[in-house]
């Protein structure tokens, strides 16, 4: 749920915006504020994801509120709501995500909510990637001596350098690994392999594929905004599922 705080000194304006926002199942109105000081206090207390902030308020106006909350420990997204457009430039200088003119229409509000969702998704993905990188650094320091993995081939156990793995997949319910030295059987699940490798250059592109990003030769746009990747040294195209596309684009810096 996206946590919302409404700030407006006029009761009818607060109620109208509450009515409009209640149409969105993904939103939760966690509080309302009647003036700027209350807004600053509620931002610290309730930690909203987004503030719908009126600009023209007595004593502490919306511009001053925005200046304060962006310095706080909880920095929400800000959508200014006002009857005047003369503040627009100043609003965006304060990193507002959008600017709504009263009376607010449902159609215009839809666009604002889409911006909020997109921005929060990006923030979440950036945080997730940073966390993964941090965990990988920690894990790699702990497991820095693990450079090989033992696999089965023709009934024998073969040690393989991890950096020689091109990709792994599932064939007939068995996990198999394709490397620069050939094809091997792995006695555990693909998820187990993913956890064991746990390196930044390996990516679960699909529930049935784990790829080494260092071996990607080409990325080909596919249907439904997904991709196929052509791997080096093998004549194979591997899918990137819709579920994984956003993370893949972030990792590969695809814009």
- Residue 135: inside a domain: no
pTM of this prediction exceeds 0.75: no
Helix (H, G, I), strand (E, B) or coil at 192: helix
> Same structural domain for residues 42 and 79?
yes
pLDDT at 104 over 50: yes
> Same structural domain for residues 94 and 158?
no
> Same structural domain for residues 201 and 244?
yes
In contact, 60 and 36? CB cutoff 8 Å = yes
- Residue 247: inside a domain: yes
> Same structural domain for residues 114 and 183?
no
Helix (H, G, I), strand (E, B) or coil at 99: strand
Q: Which domain, by its residues, includes 101?
A: 2-125
- Residue corresponding to tokens 């001596």: 145
pLDDT at 87 over 90: no
pLDDT at 15: 96
pLDDT at 142: 47
Q: What is the pLDDT of residues 134-187, one digit of tens each?
A: 555 545 544 545 688 888 888 888 899 999 999 999 998 889 999 999 999 998
Q: Which of 159, 238, 233 is nearest to 203 (CA)?
A: 238
- Residue 139: inside a domain: no
- Residue 213: inside a domain: yes
> Same structural domain for residues 214 and 106?
no
- The domain that contains 71 carries what CATH number? 3.40.50.2300
Residue, of 158 and 90, whose pLDDT is higher: 158
Dmax (CA) for the chain in angstroms is 81
- The domain that contains 195 carries what CATH number? 2.40.50.1020
> Same structural domain for residues 108 and 184?
no
> Same structural domain for residues 83 and 152?
no
How many domains are there within the chain? Answer: 2
H or E element at residue 109: helix 106-142
> Same structural domain for residues 182 and 236?
yes
My answer on whether omega of the bond before 35 falls inside 30° of 0, hence cis, is: no
- Angle among Cα 145, 146, 150 to the nearest 5 degrees reads 145
């Amino acid at each position: 749920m996206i946590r919302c705080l409404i700030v407006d000194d006029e009761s009818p304006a607060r109620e109208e915006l509450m009515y409009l926002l209640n149409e969105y199942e993904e939103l939760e109105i966690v509080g309302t504020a009647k003036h700027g000081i209350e807004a600053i206090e509620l931002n610290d207390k309730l930690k909203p994801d987004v503030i719908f902030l009126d600009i023209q308020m007595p004593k502490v106006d919306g511009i001053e509120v925005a200046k304060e909350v962006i310095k706080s420990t909880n920095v929400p997204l800000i959508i200014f709501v006002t009857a005047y457009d003369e503040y627009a430039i100043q609003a965006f200088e304060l990193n507002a995500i959008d600017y709504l003119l009263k009376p607010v229409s449902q159609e215009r509000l839809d666009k604002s909510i889409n911006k909020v969702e997109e921005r929060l998704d990006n923030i979440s993905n950036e945080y997730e990637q940073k966390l993964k990188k941090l965990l990988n650094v920690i894990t790699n320091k702990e497991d820095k001596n693990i450079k090989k993995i033992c696999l089965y081939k023709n009934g024998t156990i073969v040690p393989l350098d991890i950096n020689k793995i091109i990709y792994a997949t599932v064939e007939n319910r068995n996990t198999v690994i394709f490397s620069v030295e050939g094809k091997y059987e792995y006695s555990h699940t693909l998820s187990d392999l993913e956890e064991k490798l746990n390196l930044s250059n390996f990516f679960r592109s699909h529930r049935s594929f784990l790829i080494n990003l260092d071996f990607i030769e080409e990325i080909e746009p596919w249907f439904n905004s997904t991709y196929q990747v052509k791997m080096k040294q093998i004549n194979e195209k591997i899918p990137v599922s819709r579920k994984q596309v956003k993370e893949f684009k972030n990792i590969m810096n695809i814009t």
